[in-house]
Structure 1
Amino acid sequence: MTAFFIATSQIKDPQKFARYGQQAASTLSEFQGELVIKGKFSEALAGTAEHDAVGVIKFPTMDALQDWYKSDNYQALIPLREEAVNMSISTYAVPA
């Protein structure tokens, strides 16, 4: 069952955010994670949005996603992430 990690971000420090993104991307391959999209917010067509950017990462399974998120390499990046952005993170599973 394919799983997606979706992060919406309010950027506090663009330089730190760029560094976080580069370092986080380097942790994905071990867990077969694939960056699907990263982009800047354009407009809300319905409802409201309070974020500046979005990132979507695809994993082959929810277990792989969870293992990546809990990995020592990714956990070590959380302090940098918290300095760089206010981030909301959600996970989604694609039913088989």
Structure 2
Amino acid sequence: MPSYVLVRTQVHNPEQFEQYRALAGPSVKAHGGRMLLKGAVLEALEGQDDAERVAVIEFDSPKVAREWFHSDGYQAAVRARQGVATMRLSLLA
């Protein structure tokens, strides 16, 4: 059963954020993930939301999504974005 990772982002340093993107993209592909929505501008219709952009990544299963998140490749991307962007990732399964 497909599952999705919802990514909500606030970028504080766009130039350094490119390092995160350079690492995160290949890690998604390595786990068979597909970017369904990437960098979309978020418009809050109800309630307050501080995310500037959102992305949706599809994986074949919740298990694969978790494996991607905990993978060495993605965790290297997480380290690269520390202090550069604030992100919230949610697994929709």
TM-score over 0.5 for the alignment? yes
Which structure 2 segments of 5+ residues have no match?
A: none
- Number of aligned residue pairs: 93
SS at match of 1:90: strand
- Displacement of 1:42 after TM fit? 4.4
Cα separation, 2, equivalents of 1:25 and 1:84:
17
Task: Report the Cα distance in structure 1 between the residues aligned to 2:22 and 2:3, rounded to whole angstroms.
Answer: 21
Whether 1:29 and 2:29 are equivalent positions in the alignment is yes
Tell me if the contact between 1:16 and 1:83 (Cα under 8 Å) persists in the aligned partners. Answer: no
Query: Structure 1: which 5+ runs fail to align?
Result: none
**Is the Cα contact below 8 Å between 2:10 and 2:53 reproduced in 1?**
yes
Q: Which residue of structure 2 aligns with residue 61 of structure 1?
A: 61
Distance in structure 2 (CA, Å) of the matches to 1:23 and 1:85: 14
Runs of 4+ in 1 over 4 A off after TM superposition: none
Give per-residue Cα distances to partners, 1:29-88, cap 9 Å, x unaligned.
Answer: 221101111124342222121111111110000111111111111111111122221111
Instruction: Look up the match of 2:7.
Output: 7
Partner of 1:80: 80
TM superposition score normalised by structure 2? 0.88
Q: Structure 1 length normalisation: TM-score?
A: 0.86
Q: In the TM superposition, what are the counterparts of 1:34-53 in structure 2 within 5 Å?
A: 34-53=34-53
